[in-house]
Amino acid sequence: MTAIRRLGLLAPLAAIGLSGCGINSVPTAEEQVNAQWANLQADYQRRADLIPNLVATVKGYAQQEKSVLVEVTEARANATRIQLSPADLSDPQKVSAFNDAQNRLTQAIIPFQRMQEAYPDLKSNQNFLALQDQLEGTENRINASRRDYNEAVRSYNTRIRTFPDAIGAKVFYGAKPKVPFEAAAAAQQAPTVNFGNAS
């Protein structure tokens, strides 16, 4: 048997062998992580865009709660300052910094959302109610997007660590595990909201 003929017979076997080594599945899984990350970023951006409208609506009703408004505005500014690209999703420190900033904004929003209970006139403001509903819906979408992102990360990380895909992941792509989001420590405690000390 000639060398050319042997190569011709080995080529399909090599292609089959390589197809089981993550050549296609690893980048597909990574693109799924990136797509879920983009969805999560869009939800965070929607929340950031809603907050200035809510703050402006509330200002007229709750002048004495300026500290709550300032805290929400500052938390929003800090959260939008930290940017995370798909390339950063393998860096635990960058993901943690982004996650911490978003969690601080989430915690700042809670007393802000409860203001309607302290100010009856605010409850009847249609603008506020519509914005409040949008913000609550966005928070729900963020939770769903975080779950979807974490599931895509779990799938990707499993793929690049298990045989046979681990071979292609290391040899061809130098794949590194992606970092999932974790709940903030503050999420374990219910926030304290008290408008009784308004000045």
pLDDT, position 111: 82
**Is it the case that residue 72 has pLDDT exceeding 80?**
yes
What pLDDT is stored for residue 45 in this prediction? 94
Whether 6 maps to a domain, the answer reads no
Return mean pLDDT, the chain.
Answer: 81
How does pLDDT run across 151-198, given as a tens digit for each residue? 999 999 999 999 888 888 888 889 999 999 887 665 545 444 444 444
Q: Which whole number is the average pLDDT over 27-53?
A: 93
Separation between Cα atoms, residue 176 and residue 161, nearest integer Å: 9
pLDDT grade for 38, boundaries at 50, 70 and 90: very high
pLDDT-derived band at 41 (thresholds 50, 70, 90) equals: very high
What is the count of structural domains for the chain? 1
**116, part of any domain:** yes
Token pair in block for residue 159: 């793929």
In angstroms, what CA-CA distances link 91 with 1, 8, 104, 124, 178?
52, 43, 20, 46, 8
| 1 domain-assigned | no
Q: What's the rounded Cα separation, in Å, for the pair 145 and 105?
A: 17
Is residue 59 assigned to a domain?
yes
pLDDT confidence tier of residue 4, bands split at 50, 70 and 90: low
Q: Residue 124: is it exposed, middle or buried by C-beta count within 10 angstroms (0-12/13-18/19+)?
A: exposed
**Any domain includes 108:** yes
pLDDT at residue number 21:
63
Here the tokens at position 150 are 């974490």
Spell out a b/e string for 26-44, using b for 16 or more CB atoms within 10 Å of the CB, else e.
Answer: beebbebbbebbebbbebb
Is 56 part of any domain?
A: yes
Domain contains 175: yes
The pLDDT, as a whole number, for residue 112 is: 75
Residue 61 within any structural domain of the chain: yes
| pLDDT for residue 194 | 45
Its domain, for residue 63, covers: 16-182
Amino acid residing at 178: K
Please write the tens of the pLDDT for every residue from 77-107: 999 999 999 999 999 999 999 999 999 999 9
Give the whole-angstrom CA distance, residue 8 versus residue 19: 17
Task: Return the higher-pLDDT residue of 132 and 185.
Answer: 132
Percentage of residues in the chain having pLDDT higher than 90:
43
CATH code for position 174: 1.20.1440.20
Stretch 107-134: mean pLDDT, rounded? Answer: 79
